[in-house]
Amino acid sequence: MTGEQIRATLKKYSLQSWSKQKDINPISVKEAEGIYFWDYDGNRYSDMSSQLVNMNLGFGNKQIGDAIKAQVDQYCFVGPGYGAQSRAKLAKKIVELMPDNIGKVFFTNAGAEANENAVKMARIVTGRHKVMSRYRSYHGASFGAGNLTGEPRRFALEPGIPGFVKFFDPYVYREAIRFETEEAATAYYLEKLEEQIRYEGKDAIAAIVLETITGSNGVIIPPQGYLPGAKALCEKYGIIMICDEVMTGWCRTGKMFGFENFDIEPDIVTFAKGVTCGYVPLGGVAVSKEIAAYFDDKLLSCGLTYSGHPLGCAAGVACIEYYEEANILENVARSGKALGEQLERLKNEHPCVGDVRYIGLFSAVELVKDKETREALVPYGEDPSGVMKSILGMLKERRFMTYTHENIIIVAPPLTITEKQIAEEIAKLDEVLGVVDKEYI
C-alpha cells in the first residue's frame, strides 16, 4: 500500500479514538528509529511525546525485538494458569524493583484494566465500596477506569458508577489562593481531602486512586509533603492508596517509579506503557504483601484471557534489562536537566507561557493569555476556535510531534534522547510559541 492508500483505508474502515471521524488524517508511518519516524514520502518526524508517553525506549530497540522473537519461537501463548518463563521472570523483576512492602503482581493487557483490577481488589479486601480519585486525572477509557477518570473524557460514561467520588488536585498554579510555600499548599489540600473523606463516610472508602504525578492533564507535580500526607490519611482511615504509575513509571520522571520522588510506599501500584514500551501491550497491578496474603485463602475474583501474555512479559523483561544495562536513568537526569533549562528559558522569553512543569523527561508547557492573571489560553473543556489545534498544526509542520490537553502542550520524548536533540527540538517549539505570542494572545 502507499501512504495515501493506508490513510484512505483507515479513514474509510476504522474508527479512531477520541476523534470526530471526519477530522482524522493519520500520518502513515513507514519506518521508525530512535526518536524519529518517517512517512511514505520520506519526511522525518520527531516523536516528542514517546507516542502516548509509552515508548520510553523509542523505536527500533533491538534487544526488545529479539526477546519477542525468541518468545515467538518458543511459543506465543499459554493461559494464565500455566507456567511461562517470561511471566515468572517479569513478576519477580517487578516485585524486586518495587518498595519492600510490595509482594506480588497481577498482569493485565494495559493501563485501564490495571486500574479496574486494582479497584476491584481494594473493594474486596476492604469490604468497602467508595473510591476517590481526582478531577484532573486520566485513568483509562473502559467503564471502571473511565469512571475513575476526572477530566471530560469521563462524561460519555455518565451517569457514573455509584460511589466513585472526585476530589480536587493540588494544582497550585491554577489555584485561586496564592500559597506562600509548598508546605502551605500541602496543608490546605490535605485538610480539604480529610474533610471530604469524613463527609463521604470514612468507613465507606475502599481506595484513593492518584496519578503519582498527573500526566495528560498537565504534568501536575504535587507540592512537598502532599503524597506522604495523603498516604498518612489513607493509613488513618484504613483506605488503600493506589498509585497509578501507568505514565510516570519506568524511568520517566528520573526514578524507576514516580512515587520514589516523594518517599512513599503505595499499597497498590498500577503500571503499563513503559513496562514494554509498547512493543507488545502489557499492564499490571503490583500489590502489597498484605493484600497478596489476603488472597492466599480468599478468591482473587479477577481474570483475563491474556493476563501475563508471554510475548508481553518477554518484552517487559527485555525493557527492564535495557533500562538497567543502558543506564537510562543517567540519560534522563542529563537530558531532563537540559529540557528543564530550555523550558525555563521559554517561560522567561514568551508572554504566552504561563508555567512550565518538568521532572525527568516528563514536562508540560501551560499557555496563557496573560501571565499576570494566568487566564488560560483556552477555557477548560472548550476550544471553539480551535486555537490548540492550530498550535499543534504548527508544531506538526515543523515535524515536532506531540499532543495537547486543554491549554497545555505535553513534552515527553523517549528517554534515550540526547541533549543535542533536545536543543534541536525545543528550537521548533520556541518558534511556534513566538507565533502564539503574536497572533493568539
Ligand X SMILES: Cc1ncc(COP(=O)(O)O)c(C=O)c1O
- From the CB of 390, what's the least distance to ligand X, in Å? 24
For residues 310 and 315, give the distance between their C-alpha atoms in angstroms, rounded to a whole number: 9
Cell of 68: 519477542
Q: Which of 316, 242, 239, 306 is nearest to 276 (CA)?
A: 316
**Least CB distance from residue 109 to ligand X, whole Å?**
8
CA distances from 175 to 179, 210, 282 (A): 9, 19, 36
Q: How far apart (Å, rounded) are the C-alpha atoms in residues 46 and 431?
A: 16
- Cβ proximity to ligand X: between 3 and 160 the closer is 160
Residue with the CB atom nearest ligand X in the bound state: 111
Beta carbon of residue 158, minimum distance to ligand X (angstroms, whole number): 19
Q: Which of 205, 219, 213 is nearest to 243 (CA)?
A: 213
Mind giving me the DSSP string for 106-117?
Answer: EEESSHHHHHHH
Q: How far is the CB of 403 from ligand X (least distance, A)?
A: 10
Q: Is the dihedral of CA 217, 331, 245, 306 positive or negative?
A: positive
> Shortest gap between Cβ of 379 and ligand X (angstroms)?
23
Bridge partners (DSSP) of residue 45 are 37
Question: Looking at beta carbons only, is 278 or 352 nearer to ligand X?
Answer: 278
Cell of 144: 471502571
**Smallest separation, CB 281 to ligand X (Å):** 7
Q: What is the largest CA-CA distance in the chain?
A: 65
Q: Between 281 and 338, whose beta carbon lies closer to ligand X? A: 281
Query: 96 and 256 in contact (C-beta within 8 Å)?
Result: no
Report the nearest approach of ligand X to the CB of residue 343 (Å): 21
Instruction: Please state the closest distance from residue 138 (CB atom) to ligand X, in A.
Output: 5
In the numeric block, which cell numbers belong to residue 80? 494464565
Q: Determine the angle formed by the axes of helices 419-439 and 328-349, rounding to 10 degrees.
A: 20
Q: Are 56 and 246 in contact (CB under 8 A)?
A: no
Pick 320 or 412: Cβ nearer ligand X: 412
- For residue 314, the minimal CB distance to ligand X (Å) is 19
Long-range interactions of 150-155: CB distance < 8 A, separation 24+: 150/217, 151/216, 151/217, 151/405, 152/381, 153/18
- Closest separation in Å from C-beta 271 to ligand X: 9
Nearer to ligand X (CB atom), residue 244 or residue 260? 244
C-alpha cell at 206: 475502599
Pick the closer one to ligand X by CB: 71 or 216.
216
- For ligand X, the closer CB: 410 or 429: 410
Q: For the chain, report the end-to-end CA distance as a whole number of angstroms.
A: 43
Distance CA 156, CA 108 (A): 24
Using CA atoms, how far residue 264 sits from 56, 62, 257, 294, in Å, is 24, 35, 11, 22
Contact set with ligand X (CB under 6 A)? 52, 110-112, 115, 138-140, 211, 215-216, 244, 246-247, 272, 283
